[in-house]
Structure 1
Amino acid sequence: MKHRPKVANLPDVASQVEAQIAGQLDWVGMNEIELPVLLDGSDGRRMQTTARISAFVDLERPEKRGIHMSRLYLHLDRALAEHTVTPALLRHLLRDFLDSHEDLSSRAMIRLDFDYMLRRRSLASDNSGWKRYPISIIAGLEGREFELEMAFQVVYSSTCPCSAALARQLIQDQFRKDFADSGSVDAESVLAWLGSEEGIVATPHSQRSAADLRLQLAPSFEAFPFVEVIDAIEGALKTPVQAVVKREDEQAFALLNGQNLMFCEDAARRVQTALESHERVIDFWARCRHFESLHPHNAVAIVTKGVEGGYKPIDGQPSGWRHG
């Protein structure tokens, strides 16, 4: 077994040389760190995925030039290789960040961006398929104050109520035109007309839509509520996009859309209602975007829980919940 030669003392410019311009820094660290992470799966088993990670501490000593970035990476690598991502693990990791910078820093932050995969059943057929949910976990530690956030996105379909009303009016007008001279109309003739392209002369516009959510979580729970909160939002919106779709599934999806006409404002209020009483959620910020098929722009509604002072994200970026 070969032994590595001893390395001579190497210069440490970051810690030995004073800053060229003195000043405290809010955050210093790295982002876009690519590491595998272990997560609790929906079936109770651990699963592995790839995360892009941001790791930061503050630099409160104005005369110090920099921090020890390699220490942050090594703490990440060791902790995430062995343990499932939980609130307790992130708190311990942030404590390690600060202990390794005890002469420089008093605050630490970590952010993990990854995709969470769930297998979802089709609406009517005996099929299932995978759906991807982008998730971000953000945690911060200052002294003993531990903060925890979770951001995620749910994609759904939205059908415009105004467009539906206008389409119904055109169908009524066409019915009057086609049957005005018929006197009484038998049911079979109406059924045949409703099943023809000539009868349904207009359809409401619908579009793929997205709910972006950022939740401030109570940090005392053992595990992250990935499936729990995703199910809550999809259950409130009622029209989540589907993976495997046979004809019977598409028909069931059309029925859901017809029974859940909504503007972006309606969608935002549904999300608000689903989150307001959730025991894990201290505060929330949510944005519903409808990627209009009628317009070249989006319709957007934003809602918060209404906590005094407004939503205060750990990393200071509520609207860009997933970023580099």
Structure 2
Amino acid sequence: MSATNACTDLSCNILPDIASQPHAGPKGTLNWVGMSAIEIPVFVLNATGEKIQTLARVQAYVNLMDPHSKGIHMSRLYLALDNLLSMHELTPELLRKTVTQFVESHGSLSTAAYLECRFNYFEKRSSLVSDNRGWKNYPVRVAATLRGQQFDLEVQVEVPYSSTCPCSAALARQLIQEGFRDQFGEAVVNAQQVYDWLGTTQGISATPHSQRSMAQVKVKLAEKIRNLPLTSLIDRIENALQTPVQAAVKREDEQEFARLNAANLMFCEDAARRLKVAMSEDISVRDFWIRVNHLESLHAHNAVSVAIKGIEGGYQDDPHDYMTC
């Protein structure tokens, strides 16, 4: 037989499969094995029920329970993502189906799966006073975990807001009082004089410092939830804090924003307590973890406060769990 005709049977076309060969290295189980930085196009529902396409950056893992196996079948994770998740609406049921497929596709190798999707949630938000609306972007992370029959779904969102320091506000008021005394002394003044003076730069001689701040909230959803409550979660956070950053702004909106900041003076502790109350009242949330970050304009450092619901087996107050900002 000539060399050119040496491989005519099908066996010559079989590709080598190193993963199926006996594992000769160190033996042991592994907590998670998989892939990160996978880009998958998905859809999410907005407040009006419309499907909005976005790009999710995905992590996909299973555990490896067979100490003698070389590894998992990573292509099976990717194919499950492509078949089930790609170009589909992210829902709790779809996420459960996907992690279940992760485990089932690995037979006896795996008993647990983890799926994480990070994406930007864009939504048009109304201005404070004017009839305008503008786009705002909220970074979102959705994580699904399956261990045996236990399925957990976590949603994390970052919401920017403004915080004005109560201490700074009190110091500014004192300077304004002193300016009033210097201007009018002990004289009897009428209301119009005071009104006119308050409208001058001398009248408002000091302003409190405020800063852009960030609320980072993680929640574990109740099992009955059928859709990702992104808009309602953002609404609850912004309504609790009362000073959300704005997109489309006219002068009347800026004035209302200034009023809201003065009416909602907040240390980071105040903001965290407001959010803790708001999350405790949400029946769709089984557990929550909150971190507020006030990106100080006075200091070179940030002010931070963390709160958890505090249920047994829930989120723990561990430093390694802190997200940074």
Over 3 Å counting, the alpha-carbon distance change for 1:250 and 1:109 in structure 2 is same
In our comparison, the structure showing a higher alpha carbon Rg is 2
1:16 alignment partner, one of 16, 21, 41: 21
Q: Which amino acid aligns with 1:122?
A: S
Over 3 Å counting, the alpha-carbon distance change for 1:118 and 1:8 in structure 2 is same
2:307 alignment partner, one of 299, 303, 307: 303
Give TM-score, length-normalised by structure 2.
0.93
Q: Is the 8 A contact 1:18 1:63 kept in 2?
A: yes
Note the 1:1-324 alignment, pairs <5 A. 8-18=13-23, 20-180=25-185, 183-311=187-315, 318-320=321-323
Q: Is the 8 A contact 1:214 1:318 kept in 2?
A: no
Counterpart CA distance in 2 for 1:125 and 1:136 is: 32
Counterpart CA distance in 2 for 1:278 and 1:72 is: 34
Cα deviation, residue 15, structure 1: 3.1
Q: Deviating runs (4+, > 3 A) in structure 1?
A: none
Counterpart CA distance in 2 for 1:86 and 1:16 is: 39
Cα deviation, residue 319, structure 1: 2.1
Q: Is the 8 A contact 2:41 2:87 kept in 1?
A: no
Counterpart CA distance in 2 for 1:121 and 1:287 is: 26
Give TM-score, length-normalised by structure 1.
0.93
Over 3 Å counting, the alpha-carbon distance change for 1:19 and 1:127 in structure 2 is farther
Q: Is the 8 A contact 2:308 2:316 kept in 1?
A: no
Counterpart CA distance in 2 for 1:29 and 1:94 is: 12
Describe the SS at the equivalent of 2:169. helix
Moved more, 35-44 or 199-208: 35-44
Counterpart CA distance in 2 for 1:312 and 1:201 is: 46
Describe the SS at the equivalent of 1:203. coil
Cα deviation, residue 317, structure 1: 6.6
Over 3 Å counting, the alpha-carbon distance change for 1:213 and 1:40 in structure 2 is same
Cα deviation, residue 197, structure 1: 0.5
Q: Which amino acid aligns with 1:75?
A: A
Q: Which amino acid aligns with 1:276?
A: S
**Number of aligned residue pairs:** 314
